[in-house]
Structure 1
């Protein structure tokens, strides 16, 4: 990928931007994706885990929703702490806590202990995920920021595509407990790579101390700022649908359609192409047509995919199911990086805080989506269709009134 240079704006307090290199992108992608990878890699193991803990596959959705709730809450603390103390030690400490949670899950003697381990995992790994966006905002501006966020968001969305295939192989070869141990080891290796390659990106002269009251006030200001709120909510509603799909997929694909864990992994891997293509197209389309138009188009496409799933839920059909999922994922791949860049770009001096609140919205919607996928009094496929359609409509409502501020420069955002 050609190197890109951008000059940071003195007005928003950012430091001079660095070169956008493949190594930096790979590291940011790894930090962003490790949390989702640790969640979806266990999906093919749900039948074995259900047998070991004497629960149903659908009840194992609690292992997802509990993770997302802890993930969402943890980010609210990580963001302001990173603005005050820097990114490095929070990323490294978080990955060590995450590895400890992986060990708890691997050794869990009961379902309750597994859930506890999942919460510990989430509280640790949320730092890497939320701060990957803040680090990108520390380092890059304009088009470089959009490219960095686009490719890290691709990784975050693509990791669930590859990880079930990897998880199915690990489950067959070693069993699901070893899967947790290997993911924890990957987290530690990622931390070492981060320490060697990037280190601290938020120097002391750019840090701001936040008292608890000022943190609450800052979150309140962001949460009521339409420039941040509208794209953040739109992206989060779509992400909620994505994770509802992850939560429901074992019950649908293994239970309704009778696929094997390996088939489930292969189907998920095939979705990566769709997400990757949409993510690469998003910044280019935004430059040509404007970010708002492309983001709205992505939401409408996602709504179409959810509608296909809902319409076909009465007579489950695997080709229609995969078509609906593919259409939804393409729309999600368009709106996710664009909406993320639109929400974060105006808030460079509060990058940690803004990224944390965005992550809270996203993981809160993910928790709601996975909980609804296991709790609605409907067949799983019908429940998934309702969630995808409802989430897409909510995203459309959140984003319909948004206007790109004229003060936000650069082709990364575009003009409506």
Structure 2
């Protein structure tokens, strides 16, 4: 019998407590936190290391690539051996990479530290979704992911503001030490308050051929691939925005590092609003319909940015990003829940493949935004519009699919 056709019981009903929410949000936000907190410091990092801002883009693309491929290994390992030691090991690797970044004296060492950071953070990201799938199902899973997104948005949303303040007071190196401490706090909380969520009787064998076969079947299964790819395209656009933000807001629109931080902080309110709306709207109209609406809103924001790309202003750019973030906030938890729901026994592999798709789209989007022969805002508009339009195309069959077509395996 196929590995994806073995029925497995739904996880027992659980309440999303504050402790569980803190863990899931912390794990999910770690990668974005480690990236966003250093964005305001890019000019000073470039000056200290003697490199240009464009060359510093390598610290982002290398992070995304390592993050993408690392998840493919973490997922099957967690399905076989459980979540606990991979969570703790990933957080330890993340802290070590952060310390290396703090003491880097050249771009090559900074990139090395960022790759090590990514290999640790990717474990946290994969396992945040896998742990959520271990504990919740159906609407409860969508609600848990939405609330996790709300809480997790605070760290990457406010981190540029914190990074700007730390850079101004103590220099950019202290920011890496701060994120190392955050990783240690998450590890301590997990080991004391949450622990293992994937019991031995739900674990799957670990064999290279079996893992490759399962990844192949997941990638060919439209129940997983279509919603996962739609979410990944929109999330890839979000990370492209992170990468392009210093060039657009500081170089093109003249914001200071502190003002850049304030701009990012306001995005938290939009993500919070979307996170509260997503499960409520989905309960009334269904996850697929609201997910499709989210993609439409993201596309509207992208087209608005494209319309003003020739002469952007802070107001037009902010409106466009606000619409995009609102749409992203709707499709992200709902599309993720739709993609993971049918695959409870393979939650680790499914989450890993979803994360790979997300970071792969992020790496492609960030690279395109930096190499297109256009001004930064125009390049970002092209990337966001393309990503949103493609997401709409791949999610359309999901929105039209009957819910009874889903089978939990």
TM range (shorter): over 0.9
Name the SS for the 1:280 alignment partner. Answer: helix
Separation (CA, whole Å) in 2 of partners of 1:320 and 1:16: 47
1:89 aligned partner: 85
Deviates more, 1:139-148 or 1:322-331: 139-148
Separation (CA, whole Å) in 1 of partners of 2:141 and 2:87: 20
Deviations 1:260-284 (A, max 9, x none): 1110000110111011101110111
Answer whether contact 2:139 2:283 (CA < 8 A) is retained.
no
RMSD: 1.5
Separation (CA, whole Å) in 2 of partners of 1:278 and 1:18: 23
Separation (CA, whole Å) in 2 of partners of 1:341 and 1:317: 36
Answer whether contact 2:98 2:117 (CA < 8 A) is retained.
yes
1:75-224 mapped onto 2 (5 Å cutoff):
75-224=71-220
2:318 aligned partner: 322
Q: 1:345 aligns with which of 341, 348, 355?
A: 341
Separation (CA, whole Å) in 1 of partners of 2:388 and 2:154: 20
2:224 aligned partner: 228
1:214-293 mapped onto 2 (5 Å cutoff):
214-293=210-289
2:387 aligned partner: 391
Deviations 1:359-415 (A, max 9, x none): 1001111111111111111111100000000000110111112224315499xxxxx
Separation (CA, whole Å) in 2 of partners of 1:153 and 1:363: 17
Shift of 1:160: 2.3
Shift of 1:143: 2.2
- Structure 2 length normalisation: TM-score? 0.95
Name the SS for the 2:346 alignment partner. Answer: helix
Within the alignment, does 1:359 sit opposite 2:358 as a pair? no
Name the SS for the 2:179 alignment partner. Answer: helix
Deviations 1:5-28 (A, max 9, x none): xxxxx9423442332212211211
Within the alignment, does 1:336 sit opposite 2:335 as a pair? no
Deviates more, 1:310-319 or 1:266-275: 310-319
Separation (CA, whole Å) in 1 of partners of 2:390 and 2:154: 24
Shift of 1:321: 0.6
The change in CA–CA distance for 1:349 and 1:312 in structure 2 (over 3 A counts) is same
Separation (CA, whole Å) in 1 of partners of 2:12 and 2:387: 38
Separation (CA, whole Å) in 1 of partners of 2:88 and 2:108: 27
Separation (CA, whole Å) in 1 of partners of 2:51 and 2:120: 26
- Structure 1 length normalisation: TM-score? 0.94
Answer whether contact 1:13 1:206 (CA < 8 A) is retained.
no
The change in CA–CA distance for 1:218 and 1:174 in structure 2 (over 3 A counts) is same
Q: Which runs of 5+ in 1 are unaligned?
A: 1-9, 411-416
Deviations 1:200-257 (A, max 9, x none): 1111111111210110100000001000011100000000110111000001111011
Deviations 1:60-102 (A, max 9, x none): 2221111010001000000000000000000000100111100
Separation (CA, whole Å) in 2 of partners of 1:407 and 1:309: 37
Separation (CA, whole Å) in 1 of partners of 2:131 and 2:13: 11
Answer whether contact 1:88 1:200 (CA < 8 A) is retained.
yes
Could you list the structure 1 runs, at least 4 aligned residues long, displaced by more than 6 angstroms after superposition: none
The change in CA–CA distance for 1:283 and 1:118 in structure 2 (over 3 A counts) is same
Within the alignment, does 1:48 sit opposite 2:44 as a pair? yes
Within the alignment, does 1:405 sit opposite 2:400 as a pair? no
Aligned residues: 401
Shift of 1:167: 0.8
2:299 aligned partner: 303
1:5 aligned partner: none
